[in-house]
Amino acid sequence: MARACTIGIDYGTNSVRAVVVDCADGRVLGTHVSNYPSGDQGILLDPKQPHLARQNPADYLDGLRDSVRGALAEAARDTAFSAESVIGIGVDTTGSTPLPIDAAAQPLALDPRFARNLAAHAWLWKDHTSALEAAAITETARTHNPELLAPIGGTYSSEWWWSKIWHCLNVAPEVFDAAASWVELADFIPAVLAGVKHPNEIVRCVCAAGHKAMYSETWGGLPPKSFLTRLDPRLAALRDRLYDSALPPGSPAGYLAAGWATALGLRPGIPIAMGGFDAHYGAVGSGVTAGTLVKIIGTSTCDCAVAPSTERIADIPGICGIVDGSIMPGFFGIEAGQSAVGDLLKWWVEVVCGGDEARHERLSTEAASLAPGQSGLIALDWNNGNRTVLVDTRLTGLLLGQTLHTTRAEIYRALIEATAYGARAIIQRLREYGVPIDRVVCCGGIAEKNDLFMQVYADVLGQPMLIAGSPQTPALGSALAAAVTAGARAGGYDDWTEAQSRMTTIKQKRFEPRPAASAVYDALYAIYRELHDAFGGVPEAKGELASVMKRLLAIKERALGVTA
Amino acid sequence: MARACTIGIDYGTNSVRAVVVDCADGRVLGTHVSNYPSGDQGILLDPKQPHLARQNPADYLDGLRDSVRGALAEAARDTAFSAESVIGIGVDTTGSTPLPIDAAAQPLALDPRFARNLAAHAWLWKDHTSALEAAAITETARTHNPELLAPIGGTYSSEWWWSKIWHCLNVAPEVFDAAASWVELADFIPAVLAGVKHPNEIVRCVCAAGHKAMYSETWGGLPPKSFLTRLDPRLAALRDRLYDSALPPGSPAGYLAAGWATALGLRPGIPIAMGGFDAHYGAVGSGVTAGTLVKIIGTSTCDCAVAPSTERIADIPGICGIVDGSIMPGFFGIEAGQSAVGDLLKWWVEVVCGGDEARHERLSTEAASLAPGQSGLIALDWNNGNRTVLVDTRLTGLLLGQTLHTTRAEIYRALIEATAYGARAIIQRLREYGVPIDRVVCCGGIAEKNDLFMQVYADVLGQPMLIAGSPQTPALGSALAAAVTAGARAGGYDDWTEAQSRMTTIKQKRFEPRPAASAVYDALYAIYRELHDAFGGVPEAKGELASVMKRLLAIKERALGVTA
């Protein structure tokens, strides 16, 4: 049989990447990155609104064409490759990134009347203008419809669908009124490729719907009109122009339209996989399966796990989302995360120490020479709030234990350790609620480059840290979804697990926990939890804060082999 | 009447300074500084014992000759000046800085047999080798003689007399056995000038005895033998070779011996004032009196106040010492302090930010442009432990409220603020126990140079910050003590208050509290106290740690005029 290939397209924050992947073994045959030309590295900003972050939908469309053609051109350098062998396309994007569309399913922002209206553009995931709306949604749901919050960890975020749309209604009613419907970027791109001409034809993924829009089959789809009316009757009216059902990955979102087939040089009619969020398809591309936690470690961290849909799992307080079919069909998709990981180190090295990439490396080398506990420091990793398990953006950082001799490398290490304790708190919570975590697979830049970071995580979590084989797991996961959507008869797969076993790999290099270090970190983690619970407002917080500094000094002295 | 002058000699950590002062108005006619030549800037170190800090008594004697002769030579440039007009000499020193002496009252270290034995040298105030002994003394006193601890704040320090002598006994018994007696540096120098030839002839000041050696007339002088026997019977035996009574300043410690008169070019027989600690005579030279708190602000801070001896004042928990006559006769001398002030800023700028003096100034300028509360930060000033009111060297630093945008200048300011909150906690404690504080006078390098620092203190304390007129208040205070010791008939004074009104001044430049800033700092101080009490182990600690970060954010947003 001829080689079958799929294309994975990964919409990131600043660029879009396309890869052409061999379905037989996941090998990347061609790749191409297109940077978004608009705004500041693709982000539209407003100096008067520091929390605003939008994107120009035209960048998405231009980038789609450019990235796929570039990846195909690179693949074609191998004369054995033919675009005819491409059997499907998959798409992953950032999210929640909703955009308003018109009656022809075209972005309002492309209408000259709205070209300069930032509210008519795509509302990027990290747009935080909707804090008041988010708080009001949480409050209203707690009072009247607490069931809506249970699957999303108990708090609705300003980064999510309804907060953004409601904020648009409040600050730019002309845009809200002009919008025939709204669509997540993850659903928009597949609809574009399928040539959809009406909002009703857009296929919606349960990934975005369940994690960001309070969609659940339990209550018949999106939140009931009675709830939306309490927010604003016009939101209730909008519900009729949105969608009634959302689908897990596996079933096609559509088939490649003739125009795009011509533009990209592909066969028309090949299936387009259901769109999904980058973290979710990244987890798929990292080999996520029951018992495996995938950590996507970058500026922040996204943790993904799955649990078989056959066993009902409890709502887990503080876990951002548990949605049936959101990562792979047949599994609950479970999502957690940390708001600042790479960003925390970047802050320390660049903002405080005034350093650059070389300083990062020197501090990392110096910090690696320290024994666990010897600095006497402990930190909370909350400089950007806490996403899991406290779900509170209004928490801030804490550093404790410094003396007149504390060095910047000691603090650098303490910050790495703090993020590792935060990671342990997430795993602890998942296990407490019956989600087994036997294996941790990491991907992202830090996992690939920072050995100290990975060793600290292995020691703190007390478990080996594995690294995904691909440096582009979201794009690989999208391509894998396309291979399953196309099916075995077309040269792909009928089964997700089989596709993962063929198309994904784990690096040989791995980091094993060192028992002596883990013992020290167990003691430090106990102190972290005391601080975490006390400052995080955990109702049942226990701890002896009065002895925290002295216990850290005792750990320090043991690490240094000295007596007081 | 001819101009009358006195000499003040100030033994610091790295050098000795002599000044020649006009008794009429406190004007300095000549000054000279002699650096100690031994060790590292005058400090003998042992790489194997990081807590060890000793000094060579030969440096004290050479420095005495050199500094006084230098100051007299400078004064003599004015032909109207004559050494004949010097009517007395005063001495202040660091402390507790005890040294072992032989039967002729000579330092053991000058005996060639002990020249290389660091235990035979002077045990500098900041020698911390005696931590175990200090803990055992505190514990024994708490169990058997709690009255001994009451006047010194409840905890005996490793920096003090008995801890050091006992440690010498434990680690260098040959030195302990060879010592005929021990003497504080503050008593040693006056005895040298007086030509004392036997330990029994040394006049001891109540300043060192009361604050450092648990001396009180209430229990008949030094601690009872029954107590010392519990520590070690050899300490009880040493008590017989120490002293039975100690005197307040005012009465002479002796009269200038002929040999030293010749060596210095002074009249023999002029009175030598009672020695005292640098901070105490610094307070005198800053105009301390009932209702005035003098803050000597340097690497650390020493706070001195006095209260009339006619009114018995309560023991004040956490105040290092309340000793009748330790600063001026007729007053209780009250001493408190903060373990790191200038050192805290030095740590941040030099160790963490890798900067120098110019960086200090840039950060100070940048920090001065911030409004109180706008950083959202709060810190505890415990990087070197807490001297007052917690009396706990095993406390460490804390920084809270940082985001991904927090700058080094914001942290620099937060550290200044933290020391100001610590200063407020001391004043609050003094007031709670009936010591009125109506006026705050500052001296030391930071008070003279750092306007931001002084303004923050005015705002946090809610009271004007005055600055002592002299940049060398300890030496001026010693010279003033000499003028009072010589008396009015000799051209000095019979009354301390009159001497202070004539010889000390306050700078015109002063810092007034700004009401709006003080209001913000009142709110921040309340949060500081919650953290202080929780981490400092205050038994009645109250507070809502779970809301600390959010309250700081609310203060920050008000300061910035933004809504969440």
CB A347 within 8 A of CB B404: yes
What is the C-alpha end-to-end distance of chain B, expressed in Å?
73
**How far is A134 from A296, CA to CA, in rounded Å?**
26
How confident is the model at residue B564, as a pLDDT? 47
Residue in B396, B527, B529, B538 to test binding to A, most A beta-carbons within 10 Å: B396
Among A352, A402, A536, the residue with its CB nearest the CB of B397 is A402
**How far is A187 from B468, CA to CA, in rounded Å?**
72
Inter-chain CB proximity A546 and B534 less than 8 Å = yes
pLDDT band of residue B563 (cuts 50, 70, 90) is low
pLDDT band of residue B147 (cuts 50, 70, 90) is very high
Inter-chain CB proximity B564 and A394 less than 8 Å = yes
Among B131, B346, B398, the residue with its CB nearest the CB of A400 is B398
Inter-chain CB proximity B397 and A401 less than 8 Å = yes
Nearest residue to A294 via CA among A307, A283, A309, A306:
A283
Q: What is the mean pLDDT of each run of 10 residues along chain A (564 residues)?
A: 87 96 97 97 90 96 98 95 97 97 98 97 94 94 95 88 98 98 98 98 96 95 98 98 96 97 97 97 97 94 94 82 91 93 95 91 96 96 92 91 95 98 97 95 91 97 97 97 97 96 97 97 96 92 86 88 64
Inter-chain CB proximity A553 and B353 less than 8 Å = no
Cα distances from A519 to residues A431, A432, A514, B392, B471, in angstroms, run 20, 21, 9, 28, 53
How confident is the model at residue B432, as a pLDDT? 94
Inter-chain CB proximity A546 and B552 less than 8 Å = no
Inter-chain CB proximity B401 and A399 less than 8 Å = no
Among A340, A343, A394, the residue with its CB nearest the CB of B549 is A394
Among B340, B347, B403, the residue with its CB nearest the CB of A396 is B403
Chain B residues within an 8 Å CB radius of A547: 537
Inter-chain CB proximity B404 and A351 less than 8 Å = yes
Chain A residues within an 8 Å CB radius of B529: none
- Count Cβ–Cβ pairs < 8 Å, chain A vs chain B: 135
Cα distances from A499 to residues A242, A292, A317, A478, in angstroms, run 33, 16, 33, 12
Whether residue B112 has pLDDT greater than 80:
yes
Inter-chain CB proximity B404 and A384 less than 8 Å = yes
Among A132, A394, A403, the residue with its CB nearest the CB of B383 is A403
Tens of pLDDT, residue by residue over B65-88, are 999 999 999 999 998 999 999 999
Inter-chain CB proximity B397 and A383 less than 8 Å = no
Q: How far is the alpha carbon of B314 from chain A, nearest alpha carbon, in Å?
A: 27
Q: A402 - beta bridge partners?
A: B397
Inter-chain CB proximity B347 and A398 less than 8 Å = no
Name every residue whose Cβ is closer than 8 Å to that of residue A357 and which is 6 or more positions away in sequence: none
Inter-chain CB proximity B407 and A552 less than 8 Å = no
In three-state form (DSSP H/G/I as H, E/B as E, the rest C), the secondary structure along A170-200 is: HHCHHHHHHCCEEEEHHHHHHHHHCCCCCHH
B516 is written with which tokens? 């709006």
**∠ CA(A393), CA(A397), CA(A400), 5° rounding?**
155
A110 is written with which tokens? 């492309």
Sign of the dihedral through C-alpha B474, B478, B483, B485:
positive
Tens of pLDDT, residue by residue over B404-453, are 999 999 999 999 999 999 999 999 999 999 999 999 999 988 888 899 99
Nearest residue to B303 via CA among B320, B290, B315:
B320
Q: How far is the alpha carbon of B377 from chain A, nearest alpha carbon, in Å?
A: 9
Whether residue B327 has pLDDT greater than 70:
yes
How confident is the model at residue A60, as a pLDDT? 98
Chain B residues within an 8 Å CB radius of A48: none
Nearest residue to B253 via CA among B15, B497, B9, B500:
B9
How confident is the model at residue B2, as a pLDDT? 60
Question: At A530, phi and psi to the nearest 5?
Answer: -60, -45
Chain B residues within an 8 Å CB radius of A536: 546
DSSP β-ladder status, A5-11 and A15-22 = antiparallel
Q: How far is the alpha carbon of B516 from chain A, nearest alpha carbon, in Å?
A: 25
Among A132, A351, A535, the residue with its CB nearest the CB of B407 is A351
Minimal Cα distance from A393: which residue of B?
A: B550
Q: How far is the alpha carbon of B172 from chain A, nearest alpha carbon, in Å?
A: 19
Instruction: Considering only CA atoms, give the Rg of chain B.
Output: 24
The gap from C-alpha A540 to its chain's centroid, in whole angstroms, comes to 30
Residue in B403, B412, B531, B544 to test binding to A, most A beta-carbons within 10 Å: B403
For range B27-49, the mean pLDDT:
95
How confident is the model at residue A73, as a pLDDT? 97
How confident is the model at residue A458, as a pLDDT? 98
How confident is the model at residue B40, as a pLDDT? 94
Among A396, A401, A407, the residue with its CB nearest the CB of B402 is A396
Residue in B394, B398, B402, B529 to test binding to A, most A beta-carbons within 10 Å: B402
Tens of pLDDT, residue by residue over B292-325, are 999 999 889 999 999 999 888 888 888 877 899 9
**How far is B479 from B75, CA to CA, in rounded Å?**
14
One-letter amino acid at B459 equals D
Nearest residue to A95 via CA among A212, A256, A176, A253:
A212
Q: How far is the alpha carbon of A126 from chain B, nearest alpha carbon, in Å?
A: 15
Tens of pLDDT, residue by residue over A486-508, are 999 999 999 999 999 999 999 99
**How far is A315 from B507, CA to CA, in rounded Å?**
68
Q: How far is the alpha carbon of B538 from chain A, nearest alpha carbon, in Å?
A: 8
Chain B residues within an 8 Å CB radius of A343: 404
What does the longest C-alpha to C-alpha distance in chain B come to? Answer: 77
**How far is B31 from B279, CA to CA, in rounded Å?**
19
Among A351, A403, A546, the residue with its CB nearest the CB of B397 is A403
Residue in A138, A394, A404 to test binding to B, most B beta-carbons within 10 Å: A404
Inter-chain CB proximity A400 and B397 less than 8 Å = yes
Residues in chain B: 564
B103 is written with which tokens? 């039967």
How confident is the model at residue B1, as a pLDDT? 45
Among A347, A406, A534, the residue with its CB nearest the CB of B546 is A534
Among A132, A353, A397, the residue with its CB nearest the CB of B402 is A397
Q: How far is the alpha carbon of A429 from chain B, nearest alpha carbon, in Å?
A: 20
Inter-chain CB proximity B537 and A552 less than 8 Å = no
Chain B residues within an 8 Å CB radius of A352: 352-353, 406-408, 411
Q: What does pTM read for this prediction?
A: 0.90
DSSP state letter for A95: S
**∠ CA(B98), CA(B309), CA(B189), 5° rounding?**
25
Inter-chain CB proximity A398 and B403 less than 8 Å = no
Chain B residues within an 8 Å CB radius of A376: 396
B356 backbone φψ class: left, alpha, beta (φ>0; ψ -120 to 50): beta
One-letter amino acid at B538 equals V
One-letter amino acid at B333 equals G
Among A396, A404, A537, the residue with its CB nearest the CB of B400 is A396
pLDDT band of residue B539 (cuts 50, 70, 90) is confident
Minimal Cα distance from A380: which residue of B?
A: B400
Minimal Cα distance from A346: which residue of B?
A: B404
